[in-house]
Structure 1
Amino acid sequence: MDFNFENELAGKIALVTGGTKGAGKAIADRLLKAGATVIITARNKPEEQIDRRHFIAADLSKPEGTQQVVDQLLHQFGHLDILINNMGSSETPGGGFAVLSDNDWESTIQTNLLAAVRLDRGFLPSMVQRGAGVIIHIASIQGRHPLYDATLPYAAAKAGLINYSKGLSKEVTAKGVRVLTVSPGWINTENTIKFLERIAQSSNSSVEQARQSVMDALGGIPAGRPAEPEEVAELVGFLASPRANYLSGSEFVIDGGTIPTI
């Protein structure tokens, strides 16, 4: 089969949650480059120009926010071909399990698991009816490699997302909808740089020393560096494309070799 990689998603409607920065922005750019019509969501519209991308402001951690996105997108575009559930974050305090409140757990699970579940539930009926669609859940290697001190709720939510994604694929692949999971390791984003600067300031060390301390906490990254957002986006772009038509139900880890087990 011959594919024009520069135009392989022409005519496709794609939604990327958390698509205004970091890996989400890179994924949106990659799908746009492949010819898709791209809609991005976040709580607030980015300050920089978002040429050729449509924007829906919504808080996906709340049921009304996900319903707003479903209703607005289907009203404006009629259907959705590609759903990239990229939104995710960890804002819980450090200090281990004892400092984590019910609210810490609930808000993290809402953001990192249930937002994706609700969006899938909103868009899947029309995908199944059309017999076509791609859903990609952006999880994390923490789903199987948790950092217990500060991100235990995030790791648990991502583990749930990985398992949910596999189960969903069993149900809908035969109906024409491919469901996949991408689990990145550490990604070099603007938030990562700010995080390293805070570590360096609090520990009276350099940013490079802070970077090494994070890699050490992960057990080392054989590739010697975090992933660039564009590297994650390239994998997602391939999986969303017709070149990956036989792939469904799989988890794809992109971590520079971080996870030490198979």
Structure 2
Amino acid sequence: MSVHKANIKRITTHILQDMKDRGEKISMLTAYDYSMAKIIDVAGIDILLVGDSASNVMAGHETTLPITLDQMIYHASSVIRAVKRAFVVVDIPFGSYQGNSSEALRSAIRIMKESGAHAVKIEGGSEIKESVLRILSAGVPVMGHLGLTPQSIYKFGTYTVRAKEEAEAQKLIEDALLLEECGCFSIVLEKIPAALAKKVSEAVKIPVIGIGAGKHTDGQVLVLHDVLGITKDFNPRFLRRYADLYSIMTEAVQNYISDVKEKSFPNDKESY
């Protein structure tokens, strides 16, 4: 751990901006519960995202759409209780902000008050400008999200790479500049061409975090369960697995079952 990181008691938006300005990459992972969040925080992660991907990895839904605001607040509260250092961002879930800036503000305030989170993340560009401005007006930090926006999956009809065509790429750049102008402290770019992500990262002054957006963004984010190899069926090109916990956990449970069946657990030393 660098001296810079060792001296940081709590990551803030100011520190994240300083990291971009100095060229230090920002690390970001998802978290949904106390135990996992505590491990990742101690490991030194910069940002923890309480993502609406909890709908997939925690609840088994096909998309992120079913998760509710109450459920997001529950997950966020669990994560916040574990964190001492990382900056915690919470997704505003589908149906809690679209088309109504007053509802967006209420949702953001509920997340901040009831979970203790540090910021919210919201998907979209010019179409959600009013909601972003309303949330920011209440003093709530906002992280934007452009490119592949999973809450709009039924609109796109596919999870393939976004903004490959010139018109969509130009709109993405314009949306990024708009989000910066509105006051967002950071933007996530998901599953877009690396060259476009580089252009956006250079065009805006705020930190840009990529997922499937190449190496030229200011930081990277992945879903924790994918990184640790707990999930097995999700294998996108941008994913690098750093462990195979699926196999490790399966073997551990099988060994436990075997010991119970064979009456070798508990032994005398494990009994009172």
- TM-score, scaled to structure 2: 0.33
Task: From the CA coordinates, give the structure whose radius of gyration is larger.
Answer: 2
Q: Which has the higher contact order (CA 8 A, sep 6+)?
A: 1
Please give the TM-score of this superposition, normalised by the length of structure 1.
Answer: 0.34
